[in-house]
Amino acid sequence: MVFLTFDWGKFKLYAENCRVGTFQTLQTVEGVELRILTGRFGYRREFKMKDNGLYEHQELLDEITRFCELHEFIPVEGSVPDEQFHS
């Protein structure tokens, strides 16, 4: 089970002490959704596209993206059930 939080500050403090993390960027109708997993905690947030081509809370999106790159979190492209992976 993954415990979700929407508090970036507290998740960041926790994630700085984890050795492995993953992140996924999903395109949505209104913008982009960012999902991050490390340890037993997950962070998820949607960033809506504004008319000027930038996202709402662009600075936060940039900070989170830099954090994932700095800590070498693994990008996730998708998922499949275990039993279907090698079939």
Taking only the tens place, the pLDDT of each residue in 39-62 is: 999 999 999 999 998 999 999 999
CB 38 within 8 A of CB 20: yes
Distance CA 80, CA 58 (A): 31
Taking the complete model, does pTM exceed 0.85, yes or no?
yes
Pairing of strands 74-75, 21-27: parallel
3-state SS of the chain is CCEEECCHHHHHHHHCCCCCEEEEEEECCCEEEEEEEECCEEEEEEEEECCCCCECCHHHHHHHHHHHHHCCCEECCCCCCHHHHCC
pLDDT at 64 over 90: yes
**What is the pLDDT averaged over residues 9-33?**
96
**Percent of residues, the chain, with pLDDT higher than 90:** 91
pLDDT at 11 over 90: yes
Average predicted confidence (pLDDT) for the chain:
95
